[in-house]
Homo-oligomer: A and B are copies of this chain.
Amino acid sequence: MTAAAYDRLKARFARIALLDESQAMLHWDAAAVMPAGGGAARGEQLATLAGLSHELLTAPEMAGDLAEAGAQSGAGAEVGAGGEWDGANLALMHTAHRRATALPTALVEASARAASACESIWRTARARADFGLVAPALKEVVRLQRETALALADATGLSPYDALMEGYQRGIGAAAVEPIFTAYETFLAEALPRAEALQAARPAPVPLAGPFPVAAQQVLCREMAERVGLDFTHARLDESTHPFCGGTPTDVRITTRYNTASVAQALLGVLHETGHALYERGLPAAHARQPVGEAAGMAAHESQSLIIEMQACRSDAFLGFIGPRLHAAFGGDAAAFAPANLAGLWRRVERGFIRVDADELTYPAHVILRFRLERALIGGELEVEGLPAAWNEGFARLLGLTPPDDACGCLQDIHWYDGGFGYFPSYTLGAMAAAQLMRAARAAVPGLDVALGQGNFVPLREWLRLNVHGQGSRLGFQDLLRAATGKPLDPADFTAHLQGRYLTA
């Protein structure tokens, strides 16, 4: 009776997915339209939905059906004609259940409380650049994260840090990431000064003359999102303080932030979020609301935002397309909108302290630092008291600068203070995967860049839909890249991309 048990499991997971969809919409509402006074009630609503979702996942009947449905991986033939997809789905069900039941309720609740308290103190600490203020709260978060990592490691057979990472990206662990990051550090030590020298030798780009009225930016952003492939009968574009992509696959919600002094912020931000949105829209509808129908993880997701924003939309070809459109929308000196000038503005390399402001070449250094530090924190080789010194030392080694204070250093990102350990590598794994996928797409689809130069994203989008979006969670990160590009993550494609863009006179 494994088929009947598997059918019941599918119904159970669909119900959980619908609770999660409801949470996604309420999260969007809170960020994009909710009046401030609704915040307290929203927190309660979200906690209730999350609690019910967890209860459904850990209910005794779930364990019974999982046991009855049998094999935990690859056993497609056992559960029906879906074959490989069903096998992968069942394996993902087992994993989700194993992770959820691995953690005692008391630990889950203590972690949520500690993260919430710490995050709140962190806001003040960052504003005052006072790490000491938040250190005790962060110590508690780290203590509970270590406990969580051990419990998950016990249940999954992974190392403690990998067990946390798996919560964000399945199919790649620290052992694979470490040599890749070390090699990048070596590459960067030589490449960064060279890129800076080449940049300094070129004439300074002419800034685009604003102001850029919000209404005109909105029209342009929407038009570009549509051109990239977002269908607004299944999507919205709104404003929020921190841009994001949320919602559900058939109702995806992206946000941006408009600045009348700069059109790049909103436009490139919308293109980035559109990349995320296309992934959600392209997930396999036949497996909707099943684990195997979800996106393959955060690194995979970031590869999709960056292949649109960084690979496609900052390419020479697309800059040639967007320049005249920008000029038509905002006027001013036509020379400023020439592709070479836009490249000078939008592909500028500059060492800085803040990750979210970093360029494509130096961004991985920010991530490498955080990966090493969070791994050491979880492993117990680093304690919270030592974090600021370790940060500053590591940052100086990677980028040759010393943060003037902790607000520009180890206090800048919310992740750790909110209990999010194991996420950071996804940013750079995504950037590298984007370069690798773009290279494979170019090889597979002749005329890809000619099309981008005409503002035509159909060839790229079709290739991504087939090779990434439509694959759902069938494959982990490395296997997804293997299937799409013929090899696991190969940072040489990323450095070759950087070579062409930043290291060629």
Q: Which residues from chain A sit less than 8 Å from chain B, CB to CB?
A: 15, 18-19, 21-22, 25-26, 29, 33-38, 40-42, 44-45, 48-49, 52, 231-236, 247-251
Contacts and interface: CB of A to CB of B under 8 A. Distances in A.
A371 B202 CA distance: 82
Contact of A34 (B34, B249, B251): B251
Contacts of A234: 35, 37-38
Nearest to A24: B45
Contacts of A41: 21, 248-251
The 4 closest A-B pairs by CB, nearest first: A38-B251, A37-B234, A18-B48, A37-B233
B38 A19 contact: no
A37 B236 contact: no
A97 B234 CA distance: 39
Stoichiometry (number of copies): 2
A48 B15 contact: yes
B233 A35 contact: yes
21 contacts: A18-B45, A18-B49, A19-B48, A19-B49, A21-B45, A22-B22, A22-B49, A25-B45, A29-B29, A33-B33, A34-B251, A35-B233, A35-B234, A35-B235, A37-B233, A37-B234, A37-B250, A38-B234, A38-B248, A41-B249, A52-B52
A302 to B, nearest CB: 25
A24 B235 CA distance: 21
Nearest to A52: B52
A240 to B, nearest CB: 14
Contact of A35 (B15, B34, B38, B236): B236
Contacts of A21: 41, 44-45
A45 B21 CA distance: 7
Which among A21, A233, A236 has the highest number of chain B CB atoms within 10 Å?
A21
Nearest to A38: B251
Contacts of A22: 22, 26, 45, 48-49
Given A18-B48, A52-B52, A29 B25 contact: yes
Nearest to A281: B37
Nearest to A32: B33
Nearest to A41: B250
A41 B19 CA distance: 11
Nearest to A16: B48
Given A25-B45, A232-B35, A234-B35, A250 B15 contact: no
Contact of A25 (B26, B40, B235): B26
A53 B372 CA distance: 45
A251 B48 contact: no
Given A35-B234, A38-B251, 12 more contacts: A21-B44, A22-B22, A25-B25, A25-B26, A33-B236, A34-B251, A35-B232, A37-B231, A37-B251, A38-B234, A41-B251, A52-B52
Contacts of A49: 18-19, 22
A36 to B, nearest CB: 5
A37 B18 CA distance: 16
Chain B CB within 10 Å, residue with most, of A40, A44, A232? A44
A278 to B, nearest CB: 15
A40 B233 CA distance: 12
Contacts of A247: 38
Nearest to A232: B35
A248 B34 CA distance: 12
Contacts of A251: 34-35, 37-38, 41-42
Pick the most buried of A40, A41, A235, A248: most chain B CB atoms within 10 A of its CB: A41
Nearest to A247: B38
Nearest to A288: B41
A502 to B, nearest CB: 39
A231 B38 CA distance: 12
A345 to B, nearest CB: 33
Nearest to A37: B234
Given A22-B48, A22-B49, A48-B22, A36 B233 contact: yes
A16 to B, nearest CB: 9
A71 to B, nearest CB: 29
A250 B25 contact: no
B48 A250 contact: no
A20 to B, nearest CB: 10
Contacts of A40: 250
Contact of A38 (B34, B45, B250): B250
Contacts of A42: 251
A297 B107 CA distance: 42
